[in-house]
Structure 1
Amino acid sequence: MNSDPVPSNGIGFSIAGPLSGPASGPFCKDSPLKILTAIRTAERVAAVSIFLSMVVLYFSNVLARQVGGTFASDFAWVEEAVRLMSLFLVFFTVGLALEKGRHAGVHTWRDRIARATGLPLRKVIDAVGFVFCVYLVYLSYQMTAFVYGMGQKSPTLNVPVFWMYLAPTTGFALMALRYALSFFDRIDRFAGQASEEL
C-alpha cells in the first residue's frame, strides 16, 4: 500500500479528492492535475512578467518626463499601456485568488447557515459561481467579437481594441475552472479561509 504523503500543489494546500487517492473513474489519471499545475504556472509567470513590465515602463516614463522635450512625447503611449497591462494583471490572477480563498466573503455566516440548515452551502456556492462565470465568459466573448468586427484601434498604442476585452473572457474562464474543480473536490479552495479563522 502506498504511504507516500499527498503532494502539495505549490500554493499551500494539498489536492483533495480522487486525484490524490486510488485510480478510479474518468479522472483516474494525473493529467487533470498536470494541466492545472501548468495553468497555475502560466498564470504566475504572466502575472510576474506583466507586473515587472509595468514597473519598468512607468519608471521609464517618469525619467522621460524629467528629461522633457521631444523625448518625453515619445513615451506618451506608456500610461495607456500600463493601464491595459493592469487590466490583464487583474483578470489573469482572479483564478489563483479564488483557488486560495482570497476573494471577499463572510465566511462565518456561510458556515453558520450551513450548520443550521444542513445544506451543502459550499457546493451551492461553487455551482452558482460556475454558472455565473460561464455566463460572463459568454457575454465577454460576445463583446470581444463585436469589437473585433468593428475594427477599432487604440489611438495611442495603435493596437486593436478587442485585445482588452479578452482579459475578462480569460479571467472569468479561469474562475469557472476553479469553481468546477472545487465542486468536484479536486481542490479545496476553503482551506485558507479555515486556517484564518482559527
Structure 2
Amino acid sequence: MAAFLRFLRSLEHTLLASVMLIMVLMYSGSIAVRELVPSYARYVVWVDEATRYMMVWLVFLALGIALERGRQIAMTSYLEMMPPRVQFALRKIIDLTGLLFSLYITWVGVEMTMVIAGTGQRSPTLGISTAYLYLALPAGFALLALRYGLSLAGIIDRWSNSTHEGAV
C-alpha cells in the first residue's frame, strides 16, 4: 500500500504541476499575442476556455492531496478539547461521513457526466464535449473518497500536523 500511495502522490503532484505550468504558458502566450500582434488574436480565443477547463480539473484533482495534508477547512478547536478516546471516535465518524459523502458525489458526478455526454453539448470555442469538464467532479471526489477511506482505515494520518511528502 505504501508503494501505491507514493506512486499516487507522485502522479498527482506531477499532473497538477504540469497543468498549472501549461496554464501559465498558454495564458501568457495568449496575452502576448493579443498585445503584440492583435491581428492574430482570433487564433488564440480558445485559450481562455481551455485554461478555465484546466483550472476546474486542477481544483478537483487537488481535493485528495489537500485532505491528506490537512489543508481543507476544518473546525478542530472543539474536537481538540475532547478526551483522546472521544477524539478518536469523532475522527472516525468524520472520516466515515466524508467517505460516504464523497462516494455519493462521485456517483452523482458520473450520472451527471453521462447525461451531459448524452446531450452532445460542446464547448463554444474548443468544440469538445462538455462531458470532459463534468468528468472532473467524479474524478476529484473519487480521489477524495480514497483519502477518506485510507484515513478511516488508519493507513494515513490526516489529523496530525506532521504529515509530509513521504509519510504514509
Does TM-score exceed 0.5, indicating one fold? yes
Within the alignment, does 1:64 sit opposite 2:24 as a pair?
no
In the alignment, what sits opposite 2:105?
136
1:115 counterpart residue number: 83
Unaligned runs of 5+ in 1: 1-31
Task: Give 1:45's aligned residue.
Answer: 14
Q: Which amino acid aligns with 2:116?
A: V
Match of 2:51 in 1: 82
Contact 1:130 1:176 in 2 (8 A): yes
Alignment RMSD (CA, Å): 1.7
Superposition deviation, residue 192 in structure 1? 1.6
Query: In 1, distance between residues paired with 2:145 and 2:84?
Result: 28
SS in 1 for 2:83: helix
Deviation of 1:117 (Å): 8.4
Distance (whole Å) between structure 1 residues aligned to residue 85 and residue 153 of structure 2: 22
Instruction: For 1:118 and 1:156, locate their aligned partners in 2 and report how far apart those are by CA, in whole Å.
Output: 54
Structure number with the higher helix fraction is 2
SS at match of 1:191: coil
| Map 1:91-110 → 2, pairs under 5 A | 91-110=60-79
**CA shift for structure 1 position 182:** 0.5
Secondary structure of 1:60's match?
helix
Q: Could you tell me the TM-score, scaled by structure 1's length?
A: 0.77
What is the total number of aligned residue pairs between the two structures?
Answer: 162
The one-character-per-residue Cα deviations of 1:25-74 (angstroms, maximum 9, x if unpaired) are xxxxxxx2222221111111110000000100110111011124431110
Query: Stretches of 4+ moved more than 6 A in 1?
Result: none
Q: Choose 1 or 2 for highest CA Rg.
A: 1
Q: Which amino acid aligns with 1:63?
A: A
Amino acid of the structure 1 residue aligned with 2:147 = R
Deviations 1:171-195 (A, max 9, x none): 100110011100110000011289x
Instruction: Report sequence identity in percent.
Output: 36
Q: What letter corresponds to residue 118 of structure 1 in structure 2?
A: V
| TM-score normalized with structure 2 length | 0.91
Q: Which runs of 5+ in 2 are unaligned?
A: 164-168
Is the partner of 2:62 in helix, strand or coil? Answer: helix
AA aligned opposite 2:20 = F
